[in-house]
Structure 1
């Protein structure tokens, strides 16, 4: 669609290194592209994918951005995608306005996806509805926000009310397909 995005590598404590890309898209369409890129261009190696991002600084006129997810987002950015090498996953952050004019924005965690998975994440998020891929329930979920176990902000847990499937933004990237007892 042509949305302005940053794509980069997550670093300890919420820091990141990212590059600007004019032709990004919503996670529903962009995450499958990242999975294809990891599989086809980087031989299934997330570390190689991250190294390619750092290498861009050597071959591009555009500098890499070094920032933190708690710092203000540029008003004209739409998405921030952060690759977590150790977890073979990517987080999608949306720029959310914090003032009435929309000139000051902050990054807000939107979704988390495994780069090793197919296009069958536990929850399908399209920005307006949430569908549990375990049982098919639509918008029948609970979102819970807690202080991060790593003191890096907040973690969000999404749970299906019908089947109990749960996914979390906790750094452990835990997924439970069956209800916990």
Structure 2
């Protein structure tokens, strides 16, 4: 499942996919944490404009890697096995036109709908790939499951698991489910 979006790059329609598998795929391919890289990239791009770009080569490479992984995930057969070969299929294009759309796609991927009913301690702990994969393991998700889920869905499953011990004032009956 995941979330797919088509973005025009250099006159070509390119499919991109964000799912819960992306953090692991990115980590395996580039030995880096996509959560940290996206945060750094958002900060770098936010400080610059298309006309006065001050992006360093490392930020540009992070963008290329993230875009490549999302494109390869969307269409493995059509996208070459290396980011360099994939990028060679384009002429020049603006990172400032593509990156905001990829960040929006990732934002949809991490969106959650469930709140924990337990009083949790506030934390400044940021999400990382190892922490995300730990959460997947804690709720019993397989690697194959990750391709079918968004990061937000995994976080919702984890929150619901934490809610299992909560006592509810009323419980749904079979009749309630039948009406639903």
TM-score between the two structures when normalised by the length of structure 2: 0.30
TM-score between the two structures when normalised by the length of structure 1: 0.30
Greater relative contact order, per chain length (Cα 8 Å cut-off, separation 6+):
2
Larger Rg over CA atoms: 2
Higher helix content, 1 or 2: 2
